[in-house]
Structure 1
């Protein structure tokens, strides 16, 4: 897969308006199927620098507010902000609390003052941003000196089993595209933030049948949103071909779905 960066990136990632609508629709079903999201977010919290206690934190791409509430419990004397591009997610999260303020906004253009946060925490949200340079630039602007950006995101190889199975059916785009690890490495290294850690870790979930995976992706709002995706309903014959193709990956625990998760810890030194 080619490096999704610069000029061709906007042609490969979903329109942010579609992302916002999709996740807004999924707000009420999201937490019921968010096993991966919870595991990754808790892993990201565990990767924060030891003894780091922010005065004010931002949950960037807060979704249902699960990690806003977790951060509020983890940093009991800190003030929290929760931000998401999906109004439906904010409407769901706000009554559950966790943050002092819930804000509609875009990671590439944060509606926050300069040097206003000590921690920006973003778990499995930044893969939807076309301009990762802008994300890091905004993080640098909003963080105070000594502040930390902690993020998890997805890279190439995610849902590779599903992608390869669909290729055996029709060769069309059925699975969301993500950046290469090398792009994350390069953009982070070129930013004004100091890289304290940047690693990739695969997370593998298992399903009895393909339909459980595809239903879960829809319930999360993370089904295929990319340009070039097939339009219209998928026929029974094509679904049967997909099921047959995916069977080659079956393991004793079931059908694997691999997520290639990038964990980044960056610091604003000045």
Structure 2
């Protein structure tokens, strides 16, 4: 089994996967909405940005939420997945929708008062570059607020696959300690950095795996097994996952990281 600190998915595969999922994403995005709304609540209470960037904007759900919360500010939505941008543009929220990479933002220095990024940066292999770009693009006094995922996410599914075979079937995520170290070294002031588990429950394993596919968040790891998964292995996986069943259903735990950083004047 490859360790959690191994290679993250290739960004071209991430872009293609989320582009394909654009039309189905919002129908199964309960976790994403809950986490994004929680991130909005983590913003400083008196913060009123002149302009904002929704980084990894996806279907534009939080671009529209930001536009509603800050009606007098100028909004920019940016995503690496063209399919997500095509879906979001007609729905509004931001004044511009731009294809771009969080590790190399197509923006000038000191351009935005707020960078808001919910459940996107876990797909970036070089989070130090994301932080450096955030620091470059933020105006003095600006805020970078992000939510992400860390090790322990989908641990029930990972452990169940481990009982079946030794392949990488579940996406890897960074350790919380990596987030802490990278944020401390970023040159941005850390106002908040914490993790909180979110647990969803499913009637069966098929419902969980269908949701992950509809989100575009199914297994994108290097080293994942190719081809179809045999029936015998699927039955073994179902049996292994059933050991985690609770009265509410089969649990899927997401370890969510919330960070609020500030570029000091």
1:127-165, CA deviations, whole angstroms, 9 ceiling, x for partnerless residues?
A: 000111100000000000110000000000000000000
Count of aligned pairs between the two proteins:
264
1:64 deviation in Å?
A: 0.2
2:255 aligned with 1:239: no
Kept in 1: contact 2:53–2:114 (CA 8 A): yes
Q: TM-score, normalised by structure 2?
A: 0.98
- The answer to whether residue 204 in structure 2 is matched with residue 209 in structure 1 is yes
Which residue does 1:115 correspond to in 2?
110
C-alpha offsets along residues 54-97 of structure 1, whole Å, 9 cap, x if unaligned? 00000000000000000000111111000000000000000100
Q: CA RMSD in A?
A: 0.9
Q: Which position in structure 2 is the counterpart of 1:39?
A: 34
- Asked if 2 retains the 8 angstrom alpha-carbon contact of 1:83 and 1:103, the reply is yes
Deviation at 1:247, TM superposition (A): 0.6
> Shift in Å at residue 125 of structure 1?
0.2
**Any gaps of 5 or more consecutive residues in structure 2?**
none
Counterpart residue number, 1:156: 151
Instruction: Identify the match of residue 61 of structure 2 among 66, 73, 78.
Output: 66
- Which residue is 1:126 aligned to? 121
1:22 aligns to 2:46 (yes or no):
no
Query: What is the TM-score of this pair, normalised by structure 1?
Result: 0.96
Runs of 4+ in 1 over 3 A off after TM superposition: none
Check conservation: 2:4, 2:172, Cα contact below 8 A.
no
Asked if structure 1 preserves the Cα contact closer than 8 Å seen for 2:196 and 2:257, the reply is: yes
- SS of the residue corresponding to residue 243 of structure 2 reads helix
Query: Which residue matches 2:81?
Result: 86
**Secondary structure of the corresponding residue to residue 249 of structure 1:** coil
Contact kept? 1:3, 1:183, Cα under 8 Å: no
Report SS of the residue matched to 1:169.
coil
In structure 2, what is the Cα distance between the partners aligned to 1:261 and 1:158?
8
